[in-house]
Amino acid sequence: MNSRKNVDVLLFDVNETLLDITCLEPFFARVFDDSAVLRNWFAELVLYSQAITVSGLYQPFGQLAVGTLKMVAANHQREISEQDLEEFKSLMGNLPPHPDARPALTRLKAAGFQLATLTNSPPTASPTLLEKAGLSDFFTHQISVDEVGVFKPHPKTYQHSAKQLGVPLSKICLVACHLWDTLGAQAAGCSAAFITRPNNNLLLVDNVPQPDFVAQDLNDFADQIIGG
């Protein structure tokens, strides 16, 4: 598509799309002697969130994040102390925004799009992650999968978002740097924009839908959809 036609709402993923998880690298470098274990942990977290959903179970994403960290530590024969866990939780609760987030959101809001978020993370008391990152005021709705008890990319998460936003799925473009998220949104009836942040790439397989937009960052996406 590569056009803003029919798109009224831009629904943003939060973790890694808007907020930068690479701030966790020093923690993983200290605990595992390898900052790249961050990617191993995050991939396992996504895998088990989806496995739990398929199995008909549910636990909040933060609890899964800690449990997955302990599992990865056991896989690497490393000990995770209570102090390590407290540091990890603190870092997870204070993820900084990507440098492109604020300028791109400013442009997209000025262009007339309604902006909202859909995250696997549960709601938290104020100040929220987005409040701490200085991004909260851009969004009319901050939606959590916790409200439906399944994780993305289950169709219920996108359907619930459309209901909360009061628009049909066809009017929503999901913006995410995870292809499993854009695939889920497209299967549910949304359009999708894929942000190719590091360690996130296209899956070029027959009969797998490609995103409507592919952009190297949020500013590139804003150029495309506003220009389109």
The pLDDT tens digits of the residues spanning 26-81 come to 999 999 999 999 999 999 999 999 999 999 999 999 999 999 999 999 999 999 99
Neighbour-count burial of 15, counting CB atoms closer than 10 A to its CB (0-12 exposed, 13-18 middle, 19+ buried)? buried
Written out in words, the top-level CATH class of the domain with range 21-92 is mainly alpha
CA distance 223 to 228: 8
Tens digit of each residue's pLDDT (9 = 90 or more) over 134-161: 999 999 999 999 999 999 999 999 999 9
What's the half-sphere exposure (Cβ side, CA atoms, 13 Å) at 113?
A: 28
Average pLDDT over residues 201-220: 95
Output DSSP code: residue 3.
Answer: S
Equal CATH topology for 9-20+95-227 and 21-92: no
Q: How confident is the model at residue 1 (pLDDT cuts 50, 70, 90)?
A: very low
What's the half-sphere exposure (Cβ side, CA atoms, 13 Å) at 181?
A: 29
Helix (H) or strand (E) holding 181: helix 179-188
Tens digit of each residue's pLDDT (9 = 90 or more) over 86-137: 999 999 999 999 999 999 999 999 999 999 999 999 999 899 999 999 999 9
Q: Residues 124, 131: contact at Cβ < 8 Å?
A: no
What was the pLDDT predicted at 49? 98
Q: How confident is the model at residue 5 (pLDDT cuts 50, 70, 90)?
A: low
CA distance 7 to 86: 41
CA distance 146 to 159: 14
Q: Residues 17, 195: contact at Cβ < 8 Å?
A: yes
What was the pLDDT predicted at 215? 98
How far is C-alpha 129 from the geometric centre of its chain's CA atoms?
13
Q: Where are the domains of the chain?
A: 9-20+95-227, 21-92
Q: How confident is the model at residue 4 (pLDDT cuts 50, 70, 90)?
A: low
CA distance 38 to 24: 7
pLDDT of 190 higher than 60: yes
Average pLDDT over residues 192-202: 95
Q: What is the pTM of this model?
A: 0.95
For the domain made up of 9-20+95-227, give the CATH fold: Rossmann fold (3.40.50)
Average pLDDT over residues 203-220: 95
What was the pLDDT predicted at 228? 60
What was the pLDDT predicted at 98? 98
> What are the residue ranges of helices labelled H in 93-168?
101-110, 129-132, 155-165
Between helix 37-54 and helix 25-32 the angle, nearest 10°, is 100
